[in-house]
Chains A and B, each alone.
Chain A
Amino acid sequence: MLGYLLRRLLAAIPVMGVVTLFVFLLLRLTPGDPAAILAGDNATAEQLERIRVSLGLNEPLYTQFFTWIGRLAHGDLGTSLTSNQPVLKLIGQRIEPSIAIAVSTIVLSILIAVPLGVIAAWQRGTWIDRFVMGLSVIGFSVPVFVIGYVLIQIFAIDLHWLPVQGYRSIAGGFGPFLERLILPTLTLSFIYVALIARMTRASMLDVLGEDYVRTARAKGINEAGVLLRHGLRNAAVPVITVIGTGFALLISGVVVTESVFNLPGIGRLTVDAVLGRDYPVIQGLILLTSGVYLGVNLLIDVAYTLLDPRIRY
């Protein structure tokens, strides 16, 4: 097991290497002077020089790369061009709302989508199945921000049940925190429920056709036991996998949802960075989210061994 973990960690290194190289080259290989691109059209010569020095653009390309990698290894993601603050500090200040939405979305989506997928597979071909699959296609097709505004219109503006926008830190009390988290979570859950329900259904259909399920039924085990103990346990691996690969989708969704609900998270940081052409911040966000993505998928690989005793490393 330890050996496997080590091998997986080693395999993640070249992937992360590609991400860093890509992020590094993107700025340097864009046609034109990188400093001028970042500073905008009205920049003065001093501003250009400041950016060149800050990003080390006067050095040869390979020196720039190794200096940059060295800093990264020390946890230095660079300095924001607009606020002059370390990128890691900026991200740290904005991470709480993003983690709150991401975690609540994953939990809510699993709670809704797995039962939906199991029921759809169990009642294959009936109206329930068609309803779940229809819901799943709609979840994939309606943009997150459209869902967000529809929910705001219904629950905040028409019914006055929940606040329209904004965020309260969990430190300021759980009630206000939760109240402002409900609509963003519901919004983002739509697409994730669609993804997980679809995979649960397909995976369950595969398993329900197996001989051991027929044997379990023949032994007279009740239907819930067949579905959960013999069905879902064996169908879990692809479902967990899709939760992991869907993580990149979740991060993109968080960026959009935060914009809709005016939440001060990393999504807003991204949008501000785009408007201010603050490339070090965008670069830092890409590196961090890609690292988290790889980490989550590594954990999921480890989770396989717990879910499926046949998988041994």
Chain B
Amino acid sequence: MAIETLPEPTIPITRPLRSAPELLTATPVIAAAAVCLGLVIVSAIAAPWLSPHDPLLLAPAQRLKPASAQFLLGTDGYGRDVLSRILYGGRISLLIGLGSAVFSVGIGLMIGLVSGFFKWIDAIMMRVMDGLMAIPSILLAIAVVSLSGASLMTVMVAITIPEIPRVARLVRSVVLSAREEPYVEAAISLGSSLPKIMRRHLMPNTIAPLIVQGTYVCASAILTEAILSFLGAGISPETPTWGNIMAEGRAYFQIKPSLIFWPGLVLSIAILSVNLIGDAARDALDPRLKQRGGGQ
């Protein structure tokens, strides 16, 4: 008796993008975003070597100088070199972006894992998260900074708190669907310890969405830091951050708009690059979204 062979699968098998370089060169736009972000990061790290002047040096005689060979982007109202301040400013902005992303993802992951697993904790935690989400993030951050004083750590905490509920809700939704999977039920019935189930079976499911969410949090944190500094509720004004440079530029906007436009441009490029890379990561890690058209 002839044995019928199974037909060839008709569903095209697509290979997911596996490596970071592959992801970052998927389209020309993403490659450009990766290059821009790379340049911003390198220039921030190498600021002490790249900066032509001391970003804190006050030189009243050089106030509001236009762009020249000596000051490539001109000087601000205190005679400080704008280019040097922008280069140094990137350090604080990127540090806050990265720090807030790491903290909010870490804390949100813990809350989400526990909430997704214990119903009674879930009921309380999600009400707390709903409450935090109802407070406009800028007002929440302003309240924290105005009470605790404006240091790098306070600003980072102030930006992290409003981001935690978004991460926690995401992790919780992943855990809620993953815990119904047979492999989790099997692990429970085999008597695996709870930390082991969380670490081995639940956490791996959250990695892909968390990478995507982390990039969005990073972009949003850089933006919020700039807004806080701009409103006068950020890190002390003499510290060069992109928001501080723009906040100081407000007073001179009508005579020297470049004090706002140059840091604004660099800030926008940095946030745009992080957002585009986040979109690319989402499309690569969750191809369903791309097929549905949610992606770029």
Contact = CB atoms under 8 A, between A and B. Distances in A.
Contacts of B139: 251-252, 255, 270, 282, 285-286, 289
Contacts of B268: 138, 141-143, 146
A4 interface: no
Interface residues on B, range: 35 or more
Interface in B131-174: 131-140, 142-148
B246 A145 contact: yes
A156 to B, nearest CB: 10
Interface string A250-276: 011001100100000000001101110
B211 interface: no
Interface stretch (B100-108, B109-117, B198-206, B228-236): B228-236
B131 A149 contact: no
Nearest to A287: B135
Contacts of B293: 121, 124, 201-202, 205-206
A275 B142 CA distance: 10
Contacts of B147: 26-27, 30, 37, 279
Interface stretch (A16-24, A169-177, A226-234, A300-308): A16-24
Nearest to B219: A141
Given A143-B264, A146-B268, A271-B232, A14 B137 contact: no
A290 interface: yes
Nearest to B134: A290
B127 A140 contact: no
Contacts of A293: 134, 136
A57 interface: no
B292 A274 contact: no
A274 B142 contact: yes
Given A143-B268, A146-B264, A274-B231, A15 B253 contact: no
B45 interface: no
A137 B253 CA distance: 27
Interface string A115-147: 000000100100000000100011011111110
A283 interface: yes
A38 B278 CA distance: 40
Interface string A153-182: 100010000001000000000000000000
Contacts of A290: 131, 134-136
A87 interface: no
A277 interface: yes
A146 B267 contact: yes
Nearest to B246: A145
B35 interface: no
B254 A15 contact: no
B257 interface: yes
Contacts of A279: 143, 146-147
A294 interface: yes
Interface in A210-250: 248-249
B267 A143 contact: yes
B130 interface: yes
B133 A137 contact: no
Interface stretch (B4-12, B83-91, B175-183, B269-277): B269-277
Given A26-B147, A274-B146, A157 B138 contact: no
A306 B215 CA distance: 37
A259 B230 contact: yes
8 contacts: A23-B143, A142-B264, A145-B246, A146-B268, A252-B137, A252-B138, A259-B230, A277-B146
Interface of A: 14-19, 21-23, 26-27, 30-31, 37, 121, 124, 133, 137-138, 140-146, 149-150, 152-153, 157, 164, 201-202, 205-206, 248-249, 251-252, 255-256, 259, 270-271, 273-275, 277, 279, 282-283, 285-286, 289-290, 293-294
7 nearest CB pairs, A to B: A18-B131, A146-B264, A205-B293, A252-B138, A141-B272, A251-B136, A141-B271
Given A145-B227, A285-B139, A289-B136, 13 more contacts: A19-B134, A22-B131, A137-B279, A138-B268, A146-B260, A157-B254, A205-B294, A251-B138, A255-B231, A256-B231, A274-B232, A283-B143, A290-B131
